[in-house]
Amino acid sequence: MNNILVTGGTGFIGSHTCVELLEAGYNVIVMDNLSNSKEESINRIKTITGRDLKFYKADMLNISEMEQIFEENQIDAVIHFAGLKAVGESVAKPVEYYNNNITGTLNLIDVMRRHSCSTFVFSSSATVYGVTNKAPYTEDMPTSATNPYGYTKVMIEQILRDVCVADPSWSVVALRYFNPIGAHHSGLIGENPNGIPNNLIPYIAQVALGKLEKLSVYGNDYPTPDGTGVRDYIHVADLAKGHVYALRYAFEHKNFEPVNLGTGKGSSVLEIVNAYEKACSKEIKRAFAPRRAGDIAVSFADASKAKKLFGWQAQSTVEQMCEDSWNFTIKNPEGL
């Protein structure tokens, strides 16, 4: 069975994807610099699947560390999650973001070429739809960004498009994630950010645990049914399964293909808070606050291409996502 290198495989989406890859019968090699995750994820993945996997602590900016992985393993395809991903931080540290995400990816592509590996699934983001397109987003829409993090995703997609033009033996699927939330139903892996969470669900989880006092709802004056921001929340396990479908497609097709991974449905901040209160049977204290810079009112996917191309579609409800998130949180109150 094929050997898959998963960069960033100890992270939130990476670890869930490793579980799905192993359960689909692939052999998995993980590379991660552990800058925003814990090696404990590897043990949890082994416990969930009952299968072994190789782990290399390695950094995309260290070419010899990556060379060693390709010399020691026959890598048939790469799923590339590794990267810095905090929007606000990217505005404060643009050079670190461009260097880590873009130089790192160029290094990875170079090592792949030297080892005749040309099948690539890229962790892109709905952030590439920018602020000018109107939801539901389709993959043929123009891409843009409003922050260095978003620009790294736009630029890496362009790099991969150009690689496919220059070398027709390459196959790339760029998966544009909407808002991945939740956790594996075992509660052994989940969203485990360092420090105060930027994203909605991990912040709510900390409020539910009593570690944070209340949720600031960023804006209740958006042109949406209840005035709060609307997003396409997708269960991380559904998203992970989408990577296995994308990988199968990438093995059978050539060229560059952007594909949305979303549910095609939008939920508001208040709808999510209410769903979380039901999941944890606690009140989530909240207060309205001004809009957050860079936020848009509404973002959700047209999810039809993934269904047409891969036969994949998201299955879980928002209620299940919140229940699984809370189950992980109470089982890991201090994180992994």
| Contact pattern for ligand WQD over residues 11 through 50, marking x by CB under 6 A | ----------------------------------------
Measure Cα distances from 44 to 28, 189, 240, 330 in Å: 14, 7, 16, 16
Please identify, among the stretches 34-42, 95-103, 213-221, 249-257, the one whose residues bind ligand WQD according to the rule CB under 6 A: 213-221
Q: Give 170-228 as a DSSP string.
A: -EEEEEEE-EEE---TTSSS----SSS--SHHHHHHHHHHTSSS-EEEE-S-SSSTTSS
Q: How far apart are CA 263 and CA 125, in angstroms?
A: 14
Residue selected from 2, 3, 99, 199 as contacting ligand WQD according to rule CB under 6 A: 199
Give the nearer residue to ligand WQD in terms of CB position, either 198 or 317. Answer: 198
CB of 214 to ligand WQD, least distance (A): 10
Q: How far apart are CA 256 and CA 213, in angstroms?
A: 45
Give the nearer residue to ligand WQD in terms of CB position, either 127 or 316. Answer: 127
Residues 68-97 that bind ligand WQD (CB under 6 A): 85, 87
Please identify, among the stretches 16-24, 46-54, 93-101, 199-207, the one whose residues bind ligand WQD according to the rule CB under 6 A: 199-207
Q: What is the DSSP letter of 258?
A: E
CB of 257 to ligand WQD, least distance (A): 19
| Contact pattern for ligand WQD over residues 167 through 196, marking x by CB under 6 A | ----------x-x-----------------
Kindly state whether residue 275 participates in binding ligand WQD, applying the rule CB under 6 A: no
Q: Under a CB-based contact definition with an 8 Å cutoff, are residues 235 and 324 in contact? A: yes
Give the closest residue to 175 by CA, choosing from 103, 258, 70: 258
Q: Which of 26, 97, 149, 222 is catalytic?
A: 149
Residues 103-142 that bind ligand WQD (CB under 6 A): 125, 127
| Contact pattern for ligand WQD over residues 242 through 271, marking x by CB under 6 A | ---------------------------x--
Q: Is 222 a catalytic residue?
A: no
Kindly state whether residue 295 participates in binding ligand WQD, applying the rule CB under 6 A: yes
* Continuous segment of H or E residues that includes residue 104: helix 104-114
Kindly state whether residue 317 participates in binding ligand WQD, applying the rule CB under 6 A: no
Q: How far apart are CA 175 and CA 169, in angstroms?
A: 20
Q: How far apart are CA 126 and CA 110, in angstroms?
A: 26
Contacts of 56 (CB under 8 A, 6+ apart): 29, 30, 31, 32, 65, 68, 69
Residue selected from 292, 307, 308, 331 as contacting ligand WQD according to rule CB under 6 A: 292
Q: How many residues bind ligand WQD (CB under 6 A)?
A: 19
Give the closest residue to 24 by CA, choosing from 232, 312, 261: 312
Q: How far apart are CA 114 and CA 65, in angstroms?
A: 14
SS3 at position 294? coil
Give the nearer residue to ligand WQD in terms of CB position, either 231 or 265. Answer: 231
Q: What is the DSSP letter of 35?
A: S
CB of 158 to ligand WQD, least distance (A): 17
Interacting residue ranges for ligand WQD, rule: CB under 6 A: 85, 87, 125, 127, 177, 179, 198-200, 203, 215-218, 229, 231, 269, 292, 295
* Active centre residues (catalytic): 149
